[in-house]
Amino acid sequence: MKFLIKILSLLAALSMLLAACGGAPAPTDVSVTESVELIEELVETQIPISEGDMKTLVDGNNAFAVDIFQSLRAGDGNLVLSPYSISLALAMTYAGARGETESQMMETLHFTQGQGATHPSFNMLGAELAQRGEAGSKDGQPMQLNIVNSIWAERAFTFDKQFLNLVSTSYGAGIRFTNFITQYEDARREINAWVSDETNGRIQDLLAEGIIDSMTRMALVNAIYFKANWLEPFDERSTSNASFHLLDGSRVTVPTMHKQVTASYASGDGCQALELAYAGETAAMDIIVPDEGNYEAFESALSIGQLNKILGGMKPTTVMLGLPKFGYAADFALADTLETMGMPDAFDMDKADFSGMTGGRDLYISTVVHKAFVSIDEKGTEAAAATAVIMSLRGAFKSEVTLNVDRPFIFVVRDLPSGQILFIGRVLDPSK
């Protein structure tokens, strides 16, 4: 009976979707946005994939993570982003790309499997990540990992049915038909409210005024929220003020947590690295501290190969750890960055080819925006991020060692079973 109910619900949802795709007259007596949620079980109709396909996707995603970190690190100050959120939002967009636009996106984003296996691989990875957080910490708090996608589409515009079905089934993206043409400000506020709700209020106002306008036809949005306690929390009584050495040679005083831990550790290749597990041991934070005086050279040379070598060389070690508490947010407009990284055609209204979305070459990416937040304390880590891709109508165990994290460092939050990098960042000044 439950299966029959699902089928009937699916048929009803599909009938609404197809009516909207066919350019049915927009209702005048409804709110700005009306939602159509498609059932994820439809993924069974896609091509079969294997664990190897998912690993290929993760490897590509992680290569993109380091690439975009390198592209954004030139800015001043602390840095945090969720490369997985960016990959997800652009993967949904990539589903509608064709020709040279598709080729450039595939290479830049490291979608080496092409259209065939990339999307079902994302679906498999998403299903795995959704299962995390079942194990609780010592105080009974489970890990939280919420990753959601949504598509906001102009309801008076015709989109390709197969494209909408693909992103709905592979990414669990609810289709929300809205009125961008005359009520774009209301639509912008609704998208921002959705992002805020899905990130526990940590990502506010993802879309600033002016990003959405009457030429907008689609917004592809991802939101990710992560909160987990350390497997072995720090004792608040051991937190004290300590010096942190900045790149210019000056120092700041910051609250620093201290404890002895037995954890995966590596030393050599110009850095020390430590992995701190979260409760449930399905996720961890990797802290990479370049040797004193070597931060800038180390960061500029960091590659996915070097990162994998560092992470793969860790061994259980007893470490006397000093780790500063920190929390900050960052936001980026990524159009220029992604163009420079190798996908300029997607942002060029004369060259962009997203005919897989509409059947014609009438849309281009007008902007990609990303916001991220991270905070760590004695209990654990909280992090959140959101990405929006805006489509517009063209026209316009060893002997004890010491790791005192008292200088700039890089951090990575990973899902351990899959290896997927969820967040990557750096701390140049934890006092800010």
Q: Are strands 363-376 and 283-290 parallel, antiparallel or unpaired?
A: unpaired
Q: How far is CA 161 from the centre of its chain?
A: 26
Q: Are strands 315-324 and 401-404 parallel, antiparallel or unpaired?
A: parallel
* Count of domains for the chain: 2
Q: Is the pLDDT of residue 12 over 50?
A: no
The H-or-E segment that residue 163 falls in is helix 161-171
Q: What is the pLDDT of residue 139?
A: 60
DSSP 217: E
- What percent of the chain is helix, strand and coil (3-state, nearest 5)? 35, 35, 30
Tokens 């590596």 sit on residue: 266
Indicate if 321 and 332 belong to the same structural domain. no
Question: pLDDT digits over 130-172, tens only?
Answer: 888 665 545 656 789 999 999 999 999 999 999 999 999 999 9
List the one residue out of 19, 78, 66, 74 whose CA is nearest residue 412.
Answer: 66
Indicate if 335 and 366 belong to the same structural domain. yes
Indicate if 53 and 146 belong to the same structural domain. yes
User: The domain that contains 91 carries what CATH number?
Assistant: 3.30.497.10
Domain range for residue 406? Answer: 231-325+398-427
Indicate if 379 and 413 belong to the same structural domain. no
Indicate if 184 and 171 belong to the same structural domain. yes
Indicate if 20 and 140 belong to the same structural domain. yes
Residue 29 in any domain: the answer is: yes
What global pTM score does this model have? 0.85
Indicate if 310 and 370 belong to the same structural domain. no
Indicate if 256 and 148 belong to the same structural domain. no
Q: What is the pLDDT of residue 38?
A: 44
* pLDDT more than 90, % of the chain: 77
CB 265 within 8 A of CB 401: yes
Residue 90 in any domain: the answer is: yes
Question: pLDDT digits over 83-116, tens only?
Answer: 999 999 999 999 999 999 999 999 999 999 999 9
Indicate if 271 and 292 belong to the same structural domain. yes
Residue 70 in any domain: the answer is: yes
Per-residue confidence band for 74, with pLDDT thresholds at 50, 70 and 90: confident
Highest mean pLDDT among 7-16, 35-44, 86-95, 409-418: 86-95
Indicate if 136 and 269 belong to the same structural domain. no
Residue 432 in any domain: the answer is: no
Question: pLDDT digits over 171-180, tens only?
Answer: 998 899 999 9
User: The domain that contains 418 carries what CATH number?
Assistant: 2.30.39.10
Residue 286 in any domain: the answer is: yes
Indicate if 386 and 412 belong to the same structural domain. no
Q: Is the pLDDT of residue 257 over 90?
A: yes
Indicate if 364 and 274 belong to the same structural domain. no
